[in-house]
């Protein structure tokens, strides 16, 4: 066993690119001047790395949990020749990182892969383990054309594996020659829980080939779904779920994950929204509808995105109260206290949807304020009751010095005279409630709105019925009993007037 002595590490997704401006004499090229071409070297690794960087394994970032210690070459194992690549996959609890993975990058300016239709390699495992991801096209520079297969099942004998190229005409200058990522084995079969054990696998004869037998049988964007969304001017939507199923000619169908740049996106109305080659849809119009579809190598992909613009985002009033007087549960204007949930999904009696999770930056609507900053909003639908819970956080909310509860509510439907939302405060933990109290917002209060439809509500805490212990608040409930079913909620906080 002979390990490589140096391993270069780099983050998978670079957050920024360095712009280089070249100054020099200008020269007009003839109209028929040949375009620059790049070598069409097929081999990536045989007994040695072929035209790869000296430190040819470039690891995923260790700060993200990648282990850089298990990569090497093995002169005692090979499918063909004398040497293979050996990967010692760490256990999940390894202090140096719980998974291993990275890329091989071309030594030069890239390769012309247009004459090939697949990346192939031979592999075997010390046991019947699974490689989480294998592919090519990631170079840790532009990462424009990555393709990968997920969950490659190995055997203990050498076997050839294929990663099809969805459209080789795009790969005129590709630097990302190989990618892999693998984690420990779940020997107990109880799912990922940190008990996965280490194992070993070997790779050999990695190269690009023209098999001539690949046949695309299904191509998808958005996982093949026809999605319909409404969005506001300035908002962005990412087209995800990009894949293709390919028959290899051996009878085996394999599924590959594909980068957006392989697709040609078709936009029916660019005055409503634009779509970039990276699959980012940007809403630019104040009204109208557009439908976005995609073609891959002359194949129409299943799935579409219909986007309707609702115009400028009707943001809630921006709070101006001094942060030192505020205890915030949900607002972009303040630092929020720890929150267990924005929807507890208390089955079977609760029907309310929306507000999943506890991260205020991962909720239902993300609009843009005039200054360009994001405004997150909870959208509760099918509302009968729902709570914002803090009872399993670091500590219960102590609002004993506060005088008011503030909430901005935008009712997204017609309000009838009998409609209401009852606010209820609950003290203590979920299983140890000490007291609760309520305050009813009538249809009149909810109808007193600004031009964007927001009702800014300030309720004196003294107005809540019951003997609430404001020093240990565990939940704030919104209860409509189905009289109102669709609301936006923003800027939920206690404050001292």
State the DSSP string of 201-217.
EEEEEEEEE--S--EEE
Q: What's the CA gap between 373 and 434, in Å, rounded? A: 40
Nearest to 425 by CA among 461, 475, 469: 475
Rounded average pLDDT over 110-129: 97
Phi, psi of 182 (to 5 degrees): -150, 145
Distances (CA, A) of 263 to 116, 240, 332, 393: 18, 12, 36, 45
Nearest to 489 by CA among 344, 370, 331: 331
Question: With 0-12 CB in 10 A as exposed, 13-18 as middle and 19+ as buried, what is 441?
Answer: buried
pLDDT at 430: 58
For the chain, report the end-to-end CA distance as a whole number of angstroms.
71
pLDDT at 189: 73
pLDDT at 6: 35
Name the average pLDDT for the chain. Answer: 89
Rounded average pLDDT over 208-221: 97
pLDDT tens, residue by residue, 420-467: 999 999 988 655 556 789 999 999 999 999 999 999 999 999 999 988
Q: What H or E segment, with its residue span, contains residue 179?
A: strand 176-183
pLDDT tens, residue by residue, 137-191: 999 999 999 999 999 999 999 999 999 999 999 999 999 999 999 999 987 776 6
**Band of the pLDDT at 371, cuts 50, 70, 90?**
confident
Does the model's pTM come out above 0.95? no
**Band of the pLDDT at 249, cuts 50, 70, 90?**
confident
Distances (CA, A) of 280 to 84, 177, 244, 310, 361: 40, 26, 20, 18, 19
* Structural domains of the chain, with CATH: 2-16+35-209 (2.60.120.430), 215-309 (2.60.40.10), 323-495 (2.60.120.430)
């Amino acid at each position: 066993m002979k390990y490589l002595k140096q391993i270069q590490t780099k983050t998978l997704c670079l957050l920024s690119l360095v712009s280089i401006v070249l100054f020099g004499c200008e020269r007009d090229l003839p109209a028929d001047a040949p375009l620059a071409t790049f070598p069409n070297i097929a081999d990536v690794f045989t007994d040695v790395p072929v035209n790869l960087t000296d430190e040819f394994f470039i690891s995923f970032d260790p700060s993200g949990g990648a282990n850089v210690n298990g990569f090497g070459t093995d002169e005692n194992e090979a499918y063909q020749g004398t040497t293979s690549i050996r990967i010692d996959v760490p256990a999940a609890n390894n202090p140096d990182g719980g998974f291993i993975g990275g890329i091989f990058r071309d030594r030069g300016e890239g390769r012309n892969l247009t004459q090939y239709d697949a990346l192939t390699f031979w592999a075997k495992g010390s046991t019947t383990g699974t490689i989480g991801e294998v592919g090519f096209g990631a170079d840790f520079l532009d990462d424009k054309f990555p393709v990968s297969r997920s969950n490659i099942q190995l055997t203990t004998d050498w076997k050839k594996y294929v990663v099809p190229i969805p459209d080789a005409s795009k790969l005129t200058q590709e630097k990302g020659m190989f990618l892999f990522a693998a984690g420990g084995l779940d020997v107990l079969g109880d799912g990922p829980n940190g008990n996965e054990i280490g194992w070993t696998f070997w790779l050999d004869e990695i190269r690009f080939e023209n098999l001539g037998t690949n046949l695309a049988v299904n191509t998808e964007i958005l996982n093949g779904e026809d999605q319909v969304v409404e969005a506001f001017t300035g908002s962005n939507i990412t087209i995800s779920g990009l894949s293709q199923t390919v028959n290899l000619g051996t009878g085996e169908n394999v599924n590959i994950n594909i980068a957006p740049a392989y697709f040609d996106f078709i936009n029916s109305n660019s005055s409503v929204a634009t779509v970039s080659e990276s699959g980012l849809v940007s809403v630019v119009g104040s009204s109208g509808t557009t439908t976005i579809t995609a073609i891959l190598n002359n194949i129409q992909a299943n799935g579409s995105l219909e986007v309707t613009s609702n115009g400028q985002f009707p943001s809630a009033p921006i709070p101006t109260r001094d942060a030192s007087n505020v205890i915030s549960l949900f607002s972009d204007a303040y630092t929020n206290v720890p929150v267990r949930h924005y929807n507890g999904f208390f089955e079977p009696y609760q029907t309310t949807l929306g507000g999943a999770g506890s991260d205020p930056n991962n909720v239902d609507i993300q609009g843009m304020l005039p200054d360009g900053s994001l405004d997150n909003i909870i959208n509760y639908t099918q509302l009968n009751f729902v709570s914002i819970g803090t009872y399993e956080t670091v500590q219960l909310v102590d609002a004993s010095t506060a005088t008011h509860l503030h909430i901005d509510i935008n009712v997204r439907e017609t309000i009838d005279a009998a409609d209401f939302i009852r606010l209820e405060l609950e003290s203590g933990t979920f299983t140890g409630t000490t007291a609760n109290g309520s305050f009813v917002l009538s249809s009149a209060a909810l109808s007193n709105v600004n031009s964007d439809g927001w009702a800014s509500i300030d309720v004196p805490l003294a107005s809540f019925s019951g003997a609430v212990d404001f020093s240990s608040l565990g939940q704030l409930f919104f209860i409509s009993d189905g009289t109102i079913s669709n609301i936006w909620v923003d800027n939920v906080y206690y404050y001292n007037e």
